[in-house]
Structures are given as structure tokens and as C-alpha cells.
Structure 1
């Protein structure tokens, strides 16, 4: 699984690797879509983490963004 380069502390609490990944993924995805993501973003991140948690969160966000914006047949 992906690991942050260093521990991340928020409000005196050291975040787990998963919490850091979800946070970083969310920031990256919002950057890609100009902060226009709905409340579904946290659900998307939680669904993707088991599948993409071994990738860097910013890389996973790029993959999710391209997939989300692709105009396919479905």
C-alpha cells in the first residue's frame, strides 16, 4: 500500500495512511475539476481506496478524473 513520505498530524492527531491517502486524493480530484465535485467525492474515494490504495493518491485522482469525464457508451 501507498505510504506518505512523513507522518501527517491534524489537530494533534496523527492520521493513518488511509486517512492521508483519502485527504490527498480529495484535494487532487478537486484541483482537477475546479472544486466542482459534489458530496459524492468522499464516497468515490472510499470505493477507490481498496482498488487504488497502492498508487499515489494524486495518480489515482487523475485516473478517476479521466474515467469520470470520459464520454463512453454507458
Structure 2
């Protein structure tokens, strides 16, 4: 399990960003759309995806889930 490695300044800036710039639900939607578009373009361009690309898609989806849980089982 990882620990929080953000500085206090980075934490403050992230909190300010999500409190004033964009709603977490909207950011999660954008992340999911970008992730989908990236996945489609990688699949169209390459027969075999580059090493590590799966984990990149996974972590983008995890970030979206943190911002707006959508896939949680009820």
C-alpha cells in the first residue's frame, strides 16, 4: 500500500482545483472519455499494445473511480 507523498502545497492546490475549477464528477467523466479514446486509438494503431499501457489505463480508471465512484457494487 502506498502512502501520501504530496507536499502540503500540492494537497492545497489539488483541493483548490477540485473545489473551484471543476466538479469531481465532471473530471471523472472527462478522464473516462479520454481513457476510452486512448484505448481505441492504441487498438487501431497497434496489433500488440506497448508494454505497460494496460496499467496506464487501469490507473486512469482508478483515478476516475476515486473522484466519482461509478463501478462500485451495491
User: What TM-score do you get using the length of structure 2 for normalisation?
Assistant: 0.32
Name which one, 1 or 2, has greater alpha-carbon Rg: 2
The structure with the greater share of residues assigned to helix is 2
TM score, norm. by length of structure 1: 0.32
